Amino acid sequence: MGHRYCLTLDLVDDATLIAEYEKYHEAIWPEIHQSITDYGITNMEIYRFDVRLFMIMETDDTFSFDRKGAADAANPKVQEWENLMWKYQAVVKGAQKGEKWVLMDKIFSL
């Protein structure tokens, strides 16, 4: 059946940096694409309003945040990407230390 997760993240409030961030996401590194699809993520979209990002992530039943996090921690190319992305990203209020994307709570469904 799969699941849908929604996450949020803020960007640094700088038009040049935001443009660079979007450019990276027009063509993510192949290793990043593979790290997403290899661990049960079947679809991912990111939307932006001003500095606020919103990610919709759809997964199959094999996906878990723990498994994906462990794989990412052990993947040098993913770590290189994540470290590069920190240049553009700002910590969301309420995030845990070192946390980037924060899982959102669904408050309405039609």
Q: Where are the beta strands (DSSP E) in 12-101?
A: 41-49, 52-59, 89-90
Spatial neighbors of 86 by CB under 8 A, at least 6 apart, are 100
51 by Cβ neighbours in 10 Å (0-12 / 13-18 / 19+) ranks as middle
pLDDT in tens, the chain (110 residues): 789 999 999 999 999 999 999 999 999 999 999 999 999 999 999 999 999 999 999 999 999 999 999 999 999 999 999 999 999 999 898 888 878 899 999 999 99
Angle at 21 between CA 92 and CA 104, to 5 degrees: 30
What is the reported pTM?
A: 0.91
Pick the CATH number of 3-103 from 3.10.20.30, 3.30.565.10, 3.30.70.1090, 2.40.50.140: 3.30.70.1090
